[in-house]
């Protein structure tokens, strides 16, 4: 389980990936774009769905269900992403590294005192996000590290 550091109220971006409510610090989000057609990445071992064009670059799209080892309740599969206009890519940046997270819906920004997760776990424990319901904080740095570890050839 992630360790948590105390913080002042700050804006969190709330989004859904399939049926799962997730949040991350709003300052880590850069852009929300339609997913469109992804360029496949052979050898990504189920870690990435492919590359999405955004802001003049190719951004890797994380397969959250595979990387987090959980059922996201209706999260898109690579076969579902071929030009599906309703499927979104949430472009994030942490320490100069860009990742796209599949999102079925971006709900908005909520001010929260929820502490930012630290440590190795990519997800914090379940918490209530006001009227949006129960969800989890996404620890982007831990997710980036997990993706990098999974992409290293054995």
Structure tokens of 35?
Answer: 């997913």
Residue identified by tokens 């190719």 is 58
Structure tokens of 106?
Answer: 């971006």
Tell me the pLDDT tens digit for each residue of 9-49: 889 999 999 889 999 999 999 999 998 888 888 888 779 99
153 vs 138, more confident: 138
The CA dihedral of 30, 50, 151, 22, to the nearest 10 degrees, is: 50
Distance CA 51, CA 35 (A): 10
Tell me the pLDDT tens digit for each residue of 122-151: 999 899 998 999 999 999 999 999 998 888
Structure tokens of 140?
Answer: 């982007």
Percent of the chain with pLDDT over 70: 83
Distance CA 132, CA 110 (A): 10
Contacts 24+ apart (CB under 8 A), 45-54: 45/150, 45/151, 47/147, 47/150, 47/151, 48/147, 48/151, 49/76, 49/78, 49/81, 49/102, 50/78, 50/81, 52/89, 52/100, 54/89, 54/91, 54/98, 54/100
Look up the pTM and report it: 0.82
Distance CA 48, CA 44 (A): 6
The yes-or-no verdict on residue 80 having pLDDT over 90 is no
The mean pLDDT value of the chain amounts to 83
Backbone angles phi, psi at 134, to 5 degrees: -90, 135
């Amino acid at each position: 389980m992630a360790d948590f550091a105390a913080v002042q109220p700050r804006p969190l971006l709330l989004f859904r990936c399939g049926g799962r409510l997730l949040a991350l610090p709003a300052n880590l989000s850069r852009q929300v774009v339609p997913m469109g057609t992804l360029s496949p990445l052979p050898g990504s071992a189920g870690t990435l769905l492919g590359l999405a064009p955004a802001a003049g670059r190719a951004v890797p799209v994380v397969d959250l269900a595979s990387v987090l080892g959980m059922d996201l309740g209706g999260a898109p599969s690579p076969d579902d992403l071929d030009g599906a206009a309703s499927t979104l890519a949430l472009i994030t940046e942490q320490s100069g590294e860009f990742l796209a997270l599949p999102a079925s819906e971006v709900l908005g920004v909520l001010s929260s005192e929820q502490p930012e997760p630290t440590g190795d776990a990519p997800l914090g424990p379940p918490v209530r996000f006001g009227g949006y319901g129960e969800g989890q904080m996404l620890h982007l740095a831990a997710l980036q590290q997990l993706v990098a570890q999974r992409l290293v050839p054995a």
